[in-house]
Copies of this chain bind each other. A is one copy, B any other.
Amino acid sequence: MAWERRLEETLAEAWRRLVRGAADRRAASRHPVLATVAEDGAPAARVVVLRRADPGEGVLEVHTDAASAKAGEIAAEPRVALTVWEAKARLQIRVAAEAAPIEGAAREALWARVPEGARLAYGGTPAPGTVIAAPEDHAAEPVAARFLPLRLGVTEVETLHLGEDRHRRARFRRDRDWAGEWLAP
């Protein structure tokens, strides 16, 4: 029986895709869209790189620049939404999560593993989003203090599978111990 017909296997498939995204640069789930709420109350969203997915803990991880707009948005409103569209599998994965900075020794260990070239994503002058006269007026330079790894504690996973026979939508919540339920699509 195909995974999309059983709740437990549907959740497992969603996590399998997320785990693959964290490991495989070519996976669709490598580049989810992370939605936040901006200070003015409007939604904001951008593509991020998925760095880790842990089905056991129900945790995802992304890395950002502490000076970025999304870092400020998340500090003010930690609830985020992460969306993946796996076109080939006809599967949408919607994750609701609460984001929190990874700090201390865990943060240091992550920084130590960021390759030198990739460190350019954290730091740079002026800060992200500042108006500049030309692209050349931005100097990229790694600043360890600007490295902000975020732990996304997943509170809900919702899946939508566009099957040939019908669409199947399901929801899984942490506060129900990840027991699933079908939803009308």
CB-CB under 8 A for A35 and B31, given A128-B183, A182-B134: no
CA–CA, A77 to B130, complex, Å?
Answer: 27
In contact, B83 and A47 (Cβ under 8 angstroms): yes
How many copies of the shown chain assemble into the complex? Answer: 2
The A interface is mostly helix, strand or loop, or mixed, namely strand
- A37 CB to nearest B CB, Å: 5
CA–CA, A6 to B31, complex, Å?
Answer: 26
In contact, B31 and A33 (Cβ under 8 angstroms): no
Binding site for B on A (CB under 8 A): 5, 31, 33, 35-37, 41-47, 77, 79-83, 85, 87, 92, 94, 96, 124-138, 140, 166-169, 181-185
